[in-house]
Each structure stands twice: as structure tokens, then as C-alpha cells.
């Protein structure tokens, strides 16, 4: 029976350019190829240089967020014969996300007058999608994408709904009587639109190796916390905010925007906000929401008949008409980026909010502490805040509130699932050192017969 080998190519113990090399059943598989959210150019790439060119048999993409997707074209260039396997929703979303990445890189290149070429081009994406293979949940196929059966001894792949965003999947790989399960990003609780993950329980077959994310490992869920209760608190806060002035909600274009639109639909239905309350989203968010609507009745989700663009009817704003935005009372601006990155819509609009006490900014997801959003969240009223190098610091006077609608599972959910699955070996990834450390210590105590591993970046483990 051949060994299973695993190499963490992310570059550091962190949430960064997520990428992992798996060698199993005599085959090499690349699990994700993300781009680091804090870096640019080649510095944002994973350690693809550790893999010999044209040596990978298949690339598997867990979902369409940039920290898992953003280096896929570079990986494909280095591995020209490897098909890229993903769910069909991920295939549709990823094409939009990567074309947007090119637009961002070109804008940065122009702004900095850099002579360095962009990492990939629109044409490279258009050509590369021919190697992308969308595959359904719950069906076994080989690493070339062809359907296979349980008795096939070669390396097989099977996707399971991860509940994180549309199309996100955990991946079960089987060969030579041994299995590896890569969770990707997972949410074990229902969200407004996305249903909870439906992962295998391994009651009838052992899980030899599990690769599990650790994003929320450092944060204990407060006693009595429920998503329903948090949504009710969010609704009351929106009511108050709109009575005072207008509201900015910085959020990610993919996943968080669609969840927020689902909540707004419910708030209108329940009379929490007016039916004619103007809601604004960005152009990228609209493109991605269109895919959510197109697939609404073909994927596991809540409210399959809800058409977010038609039923919520948000106004679409972009770079060309951003300057025309007016902060009239009673308006909701649900704009990306979620971290208020410079030169994004949320950053542009936030500059009009900071000094106006009648207006509010609500945060409903993760924000890096060093990002503009993270700095606002950490500031006290009256503190001087800057939203970028070109922004003179201003005193924070607007109303700030924070809510927890994470698309990542809480640590209690991860702990419960791992305890049910009882893997022989558990590899913890996708988290900072404190988050991974808590899960490692806790799960090792829960499961003394399981080998819990924190993989050193760049080092190959034989499992």
C-alpha cells in the first residue's frame, strides 16, 4: 500500500495563498491555488516553485474565493496537462472572479506605473477554462473527470457540499483502500441562503487523513448565541440606523453579498425595513448574484425560488457612477470590499461616512486588523482614522456596530465533526497560529488515537 504524501505550499501558518500538494495512489493532486489577500504580484503566490513543472495529474478547486482560487491560472501554466476539477457553480463563479482579478491587477499596474507584467491575462483565463471540469456533488469520478465506480482501484474524487458559499465543496479522495478528505472552507450551520455542510460521517469507512480549516479556532462562540438571534439584533440595528441616516455595510462580493440580500428580502417581508428602502450593491456583486439566481433551483440552498436581483431589486453602482452616490437618509449601501481595501466602492463611500454621526457602518464578516475595515472596527469614537495613503485622517464620528455572520464554521462545529469522523490523522490548515493551536490541543485531547498535525510550510509529510 503506497504512502500518502502531503506538502503545505501556503508559505506560512496563516490564512493566505491556500495551496496543498497531495500524492496518493501514485498520482499528484494540487488542492487549491489561492492568492494572498495582503500581497501583490509574485509575492502573493503559493510555493508553486516546489512542484516540478508538468508533474501534477489533476488540480482540484474547493471554491471561488480568491485565497483559494487566485493563482489557478499560474498553476495551470506550470502544469499544462492537469485538468481542473470543481463543482459546476464554482466553475461559473470562478471565471467571473478571475476576470475581475485581471481588472484589479491592470488598474494597480497603471496606478503605480509598474513595468512588471500582470500575473495572467483575460485571454489566458478564456483559454484556461477549457480545462475546467464542473462535476456534481455525491458522484465518484477519476482525476481526469470521468465517472468511475466504487470498485475502481485508481484514485477517485467525490465532492460534498461544504455550506460555505455557492459551489463550495469538501473533497474525498480514495485509492488503494485509503482515503483523504479535504474540507476546504466549511460552515456546519445554516446561513440565510446557503445550507449547512453535508459532509461524510465515515461511519462505514475510516478516514485515514483529514485536512481541516481552522479559521475560527481562536474564537469561542458566546453562550446562547444563535444565528437567528443575531439576525434579529441586526434587523433592530438596521431599523435604528435608517431612522438616523444611511447605512454602509462593507462585505465580500461573493457569498456575503448574497447572504445579506437574502436577509434584506426577509426584513422587507417582515416589515422591518420599508419595501421601497433603496439598497445599493456593486457591479461585481451583481454579476455573481446573477449566477446565484440562475442556479437557485439546482443547488442545495434555502429559498430556491427567491430571485435576489429581481425580488430585492438592488441598485447597481460601479466605478463610473460611484461619484454620483448621495447619502440620503434611509439608504443601505451593501458594497465590497469587505475589508474596505483602497480604491474599492466601500472605501470610497466610507470616506463620506466617517465624520457624520447620523450615519452608520455595520460589519458582518471578517476584517483583517491591518485593513481599513479592521482599523475602523478597533477605533474608538473620536479616534483619527485614515482609509488609505491618499486620505487625510479624520475623527471617527459615525455609528459603528459589528455582527457575526461568518461563512466559516465556529470551532465547536469543527470539533463536533472531527469527533464524529475520528480520522486517523488530522492536518490543521487555514488559520493563524493561535486558532490552529487551540484546535490541535483540544482535538488531540478528544481523540488521543488520532495524530494531529500542524504542517510546516514547504515540508513534505509521509502519512
Distance CA 145, CA 76 (A): 16
Element housing 5 (H / E): strand 5-8
Is beta strand 399-402 parallel, antiparallel or unpaired with respect to 360-363? Answer: parallel
- The residues of the chain that CATH labels 3.40.50.10890 are 227-402
pLDDT score of 368: 81
- Expressed in angstroms, the distance from the first to the final Cα of the chain is 12
C-alpha cell at 280: 445599493
Residue 264: pLDDT band (50, 70, 90) is very high
pLDDT at 394: 93
Instruction: Give the lowest-confidence range in 197-206, 255-264, 367-376.
Output: 367-376
Higher pLDDT, 368 or 450: 450
Strand boundaries in 269-406, DSSP class E: 279-282, 315-317, 332-335, 360-363, 384-385, 394-395, 399-402
pLDDT digits (tens, 9 = 90+) for 98-156: 999 999 999 989 888 888 899 999 999 999 999 999 999 999 999 999 988 877 778 99
DSSP summary character for residue 409: P
Give the model's pLDDT for residue 343.
87
Residue 320 has pLDDT above 70, yes or no: no
**Before 111, cis peptide (omega within 30)?**
no
Predicted pLDDT at 113:
86
Dmax (CA) of the chain:
67
**Degrees, nearest 5: CA angle 35-38-40:** 65
When the candidates are 3.60.15.10, 3.40.50.1100, 3.30.2320.30, 3.30.930.10, the CATH number that belongs to 5-219+407-462 is 3.60.15.10
Contact between 122 and 99 (Cβ < 8 Å)? yes
The pTM of this model reads 0.96
425 forms beta bridges with 209, 451
* pLDDT in the model for residue 230: 97
Instruction: Quickly name the fold that domain 227-402 has.
Output: Rossmann fold (3.40.50)
| 169-179 CB burial, b ≥16 within 10 A, e <16 | bbbbbbbeebb
Band (pLDDT 50/70/90 cuts) for residue 323 is low
> Which residue from 362, 364, 363 is spatially nearest to 407, judged by alpha carbons?
364
Locate CATH 3.60.15.10 in the chain. Answer: 5-219+407-462
**Which of 233, 211, 221, 106 lies closest to 162, judged by CA?**
211
User: In whole angstroms, what is the distance from residue 2 CA to residue 347 CA?
Assistant: 52
**SS3 label, residue 445:** helix
Task: Check if the beta carbon of residue 155 is closer than 8 Å to that of residue 143.
Answer: yes
Amino acid at each position: 500500500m503506497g504512502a500518502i504524501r502531503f506538502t503545505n505550499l501556503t508559505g506560512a501558518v496563516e490564512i493566505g495563498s491556500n495551496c496543498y500538494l497531495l500524492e496518493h495512489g501514485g498520482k499528484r493532486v494540487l488542492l487549491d491555488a489561492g492568492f494572498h489577500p495582503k500581497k501583490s504580484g509574485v509575492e502573493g503566490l503559493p510555493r508553486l516553485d516546489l512542484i516540478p513543472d508538468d508533474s501534477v495529474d489533476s488540480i482540484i478547486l474547493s471554491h471561488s474565493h480568491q485565497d483559494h482560487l487566485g493563482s489557478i491560472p499560474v498553476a495551470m501554466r506550470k502544469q499544462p496537462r492537469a485538468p481542473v476539477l470543481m463543482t459546476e457553480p464554482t466553475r461559473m463563479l470562478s471565471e467571473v472572479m478571475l476576470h475581475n482579478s485581471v481588472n484589479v491587477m491592470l488598474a494597480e499596474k497603471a496606478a503605480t506605473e509598474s513595468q512588471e507584467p500582470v500575473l495572467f491575462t483575460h485571454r489566458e483565463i478564456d483559454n484556461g477554462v477549457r480545462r475546467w471540469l464542473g462535476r456534481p456533488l455525491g458522484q465518484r469520478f477519476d482525476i481526469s473527470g470521468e465517472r468511475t465506480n466504487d470498485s475502481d482501484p485508481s484514485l477517485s474524487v467525490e465532492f460534498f457540499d461544504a455550506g460555505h458559499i455557492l459551489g463550495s465543496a469538501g473533497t474525498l479522495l480514495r485509492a488503494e483502500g485509503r482515503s483523504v478528505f479535504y474540507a476546504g472552507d466549511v460552515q456546519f450551520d445554516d446561513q440565510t441562503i446557503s445550507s449547512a455542510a453535508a459532509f461524510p460521517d465515515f461511519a462505514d469507512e475510516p478516514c485515514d487523513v483529514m485536512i481541516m480549516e481552522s479559521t475560527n479556532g481562536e474564537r469561542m462562540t458566546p453562550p446562547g448565541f444563535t444565528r437567528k438571534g443575531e439576525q434579529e439584533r441586526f434587523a433592530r440595528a438596521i431599523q435604528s440606523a435608517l431612522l438616523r441616516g444611511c447605512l454602509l455595510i462593507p462585505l465580500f462580493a461573493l457569498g456575503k453579498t448574497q447572504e445579506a440580500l437574502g436577509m434584506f428580502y426577509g426584513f422587507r417581508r417582515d416589515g422591518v425595513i420599508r419595501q421601497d428602502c433603496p439598497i445599493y450593491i456593486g457591479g461585481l456583486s451583481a454579476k455573481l448574484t446573477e449566477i446565484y439566481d440562475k442556479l437557485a433551483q439546482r443547488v442545495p440552498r434555502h429559498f430556491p425560488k427567491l430571485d435576489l436581483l429581481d425580488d430585492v431589486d438592488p441598485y447597481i453602482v460601479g466605478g463610473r457612477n460611484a461619484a454620483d452616490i448621495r447619502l440620503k437618509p434611509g439608504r443601505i449601501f451593501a458594497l465590497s470590499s469587505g475589508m474596505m481595501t483602497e480604491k474599492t466602492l466601500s472605501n470610497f463611500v466610507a470616506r463620506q461616512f466617517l465624520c457624520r454621526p447620523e450615519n452608520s457602518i455595520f460589519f458582518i464578516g471578517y476584517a483583517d486588523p491591518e485593513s481599513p475595515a479592521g482599523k475602523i472596527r478597533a477605533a474608538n469614537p473620536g479616534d483619527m482614522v485614515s482609509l488609505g495613503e491618499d486620505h487625510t485622517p479624520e475623527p471617527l464620528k459615525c455609528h459603528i456596530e459589528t455582527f457575526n455572520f461568518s461563512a466559516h464554521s465556529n470551532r465547536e462545529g469543527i470539533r463536533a465533526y472531527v469527533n464524529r469522523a475520528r480520522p486517523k490523522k488530522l492536518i490543521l490548515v487555514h488559520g493563524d497560529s493561535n486558532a490552529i493551536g487551540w484546535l490541535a490541543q483540544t482535538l488531540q485531547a478528544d481523540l488521543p488515537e488520532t495524530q494531529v498535525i500542524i504542517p510546516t510550510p514547504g515540508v513534505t509529510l509521509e502519512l
